[in-house]
Chains A and B, each alone.
Chain A
Amino acid sequence: MQSTTRDFKDNVKKAIVEPGLQKALGMMKTGFQVRRLAAIEKLPEFEQLRDQARDIKNHVLENLDFYLERFERKVTEAGGKVHWCRTADEAREAILGICRGVGARTVTKGKSMIAEEIALNDFLEEKGIEPIETDLGEYIIQLRREPPSHIIAPAIHLNKTDVIDAFQKAHTHLDPDRPMEEPTTLLEEARGVLRPKFLAADVGITGANFMIAETGSTIIVTNEGNGDLTQILPKAHVVLASLEKLVPTFEDAATILRLLARSATGQEFSVYTTVSTGPRRPGDLDGPEEFHVVLLDNGRTNILGTEFQEMLRCIRCSACLNHCPVYATVGGHAYGWVYPGPMGAVLTPTLIGIEEAGHLPNASTFCGRCESVCPMRIPLPKMMRHWREREFERHLSPASVRAGLAFWAWFAKRPRLYRLATGMAARLLGLFGRANGRYGWLPLASGWTKGRDFPAPEGKTFMNQWAKREKAS
């Protein structure tokens, strides 16, 4: 997917005045948070589970080679095949090879962020293969030809009228005057359209929430059951996953599953938790003839052993998005690439480069809410700060910011001069602001004063007053 991350500030300007988006964001703001809180309040061991989950993933990341090889061996033993892909390009080619191998004309897809990361749909279309998204939200945004704006709720930026509009344009075989006001009617309509596509698809592509090293199994969680139809009905099932989805055992997956849905939607468990192990065996009632795992690195191993390694614990639950006040203000598309919100602010620069994604780790108040809800205890603000350090070291931060900072730091390191400077500033600002108590405009602070007043200082610094008081006593 083409990044517009460089244009973050412009994206923001558009997002904050877009009434449809703001309405949709307003609706999501409380829902996820309230439901998550209700779910974890019923689970006294939630905090211990977070520790366990963190430790499991840390262990995997420390022993990634061992578990990857074990996973491959088990997949092969079960009759499947693992495709090792260093880059997005290699992953796309591997999938194309599988599709060509079974003569695929249509491909159904379960929800997969990795497919977004490698821009799979565009690629398949170019090659004459029709990809069909089967998750309702993904289906809607596919019709609108736009990327997801949220990891687990890809169409969260839309309102009902947008969906009606998209269905009217796409489902031209249906009566244009049909009733569409009820959400259930829209759901039925999507089901009706998708059902024959499930049956006709030659290849089904899903992501993976977990890959289990001990058995070579993969797990997906869904609420719509679309993933099951995607992977069972076609001739070949392709699991497209990045390598950090690995866990050693089923028990480990079960531990993390107890955190996943609660953190994401506030459900105790997703409606469907589906395990796949190899292709259909003799005697199985259903299942694909071929089972492929396309394992993508795409820069992830580069951050092993760095200050960003902990990011690879992420399970894509979206709790950080759901609790981020910046995400809630600008929505997911403003971030300009696949992964929005706090997790995206850390991950995106590792995948597309800090030159491209420099805004993202800066566009945070460091309020810390993301870290406080992250089920995997990923220190997101700390890692955003590490990105800022790298930007600073490489002189990538804006010249005006650097100049201002250098000016201020020069004084902050020289207490006597600092005292003189602050004394003067307090007097000046206090003098001119005295009449109103605040400024409606200030030089160099127009960003602040455009939408806010700037309170005037009292007039004398504390330190000067204190020194006088000490002298007098």
Chain B
Amino acid sequence: MPASSPRVGLFVTCLVDLMRPSVGFAAVKLLENAGCRVEVPATQTCCGQPAYNSGDRGDTRDIARGMIEAFTGFDYVVVPSGSCAGMIHEHYPALFADEPETLAKARELAACTHELVSFLVDVMKVERVEAAYRGTVTYHDSCSGLRELKIKKQPRQLLGSVSGLTLKELPGAEICCGFGGTFCVKYPDISERMAAEKADDIGATGADTLLAGDMGCLMNMAGKLHRKGSPVRVRHVAEVLAGITDAPPIGEPKA
């Protein structure tokens, strides 16, 4: 690997860490293939969104401070989630408006933090991946990535280079799946109805696989699809792009 290759801190996110490590390894592979040196700071935990979106600014700031410390000094920080990347990129600086020193660090971190797929395309100028996937996939645009970070074309561009893969656009791909972090626990009735509509839309595409870039949304949609008895398989987009699809799809038993 050339010495000039950027040093990337991977923030794996709490959900990937806990629920689906395969996504983390897929991210590492994609980043390394793009010429990055990947490190995984051991003191990372969570971006703090559950506290932030519950109005708990105190805990959010404490958690953010830990994150800033863990990820200071990298050329880039990359996150396999639009939501968690958006939290750091869009919201961390606003948390420290009254603390100039931390604010400067938060801004620095915000500026170098990217969501995985958009980082590969926009920063590393990756145009294609070496991967194969047999099947017709449809793609859901998770809200934070789409609206806070303007991620729309990048995953489609890279999916277009996966051999054997056909992309069928999902009608209403930009409509929330109903996950919403703590929302799905606080207002399960609304959340469930939104997930049901999304599952219907996914089913109607005729695709055999659903992809997206955020674990929360994926777990929500997979959970609803399974409850409905749908055969659609659900994976994080990074798994397919990296060609790491040996783990069973989300919510399915080992074969």
Task: Using CB atoms and an 8 Å cutoff, list the residues of chain A in contact with chain B.
Answer: 9, 12-13, 16, 325-326, 329-330, 362-369, 371-372, 385, 387-393, 397, 401, 405-406, 408-409, 411-413, 415, 418-419, 422, 425-426, 434-438, 440, 445, 447-448, 450-458, 460-463, 465-467
Contact = CB atoms under 8 A, between A and B. Distances in A.
A388 B53 contact: yes
Contacts of A422: 14, 17-18
Nearest to A416: B43
Interface string B40-65: 10111110101111111101001100
Given A368-B148, A437-B254, A465-B21, A413 B63 contact: yes
Contact of A385 (B52, B70, B252): B52
A364 B180 contact: yes
**Shortest beta-carbon contacts, A-B, top 4:** A365-B180, A447-B188, A388-B55, A392-B55
B253 A437 contact: yes
A397 B50 CA distance: 14
A372 B175 CA distance: 12
B57 A365 contact: no
B223 A452 contact: yes
Interface string B11-22: 010101111111
Nearest to B192: A451
12 contacts: A329-B197, A364-B180, A365-B181, A389-B57, A405-B54, A412-B45, A412-B63, A450-B188, A450-B192, A458-B247, A462-B17, A462-B25
Contacts of B180: 364-367
B184 to A, nearest CB: 6
Contacts of B143: 365-369
A363 B148 contact: no
B190 A12 contact: yes
A325 B194 contact: yes
A190 B184 CA distance: 44
A413 B59 contact: yes
Contact of B251 (A364, A405, A408, A437): A437
Interface centre among A364, A371, A440 (most CB of B within 10 A): A364
A33 to B, nearest CB: 10
Contact of A425 (B16, B18, B220): B18
A465 B50 CA distance: 25
Contacts of B254: 434, 437
A457 B251 contact: no
B213 interface: no
Interface string B137-148: 000000110011
Given A366-B143, A369-B147, A393-B55, A447 B183 contact: no
Contacts of A368: 143-144, 147-148
Contacts of B51: 405, 408-409, 412
B44 A329 contact: no
Interface in B151-207: 174-176, 178-197
A451 B224 contact: yes
Contact of B17 (A9, A364, A365, A461): A461
B19 A457 contact: yes
Contacts of A415: 42-45, 66, 70
Contact of A364 (B25, B175, B183, B188): B183
A401 B182 contact: yes
Contacts of B125: none
B226 interface: yes
Contact of B189 (A12, A411, A456): A12
B93 interface: no
Given A363-B187, A365-B143, A422-B18, A456 B45 contact: no
A317 to B, nearest CB: 19
A417 to B, nearest CB: 10
Nearest to B176: A367
A430 B197 CA distance: 29
A409 B60 CA distance: 8
A326 B181 CA distance: 14
A377 to B, nearest CB: 13
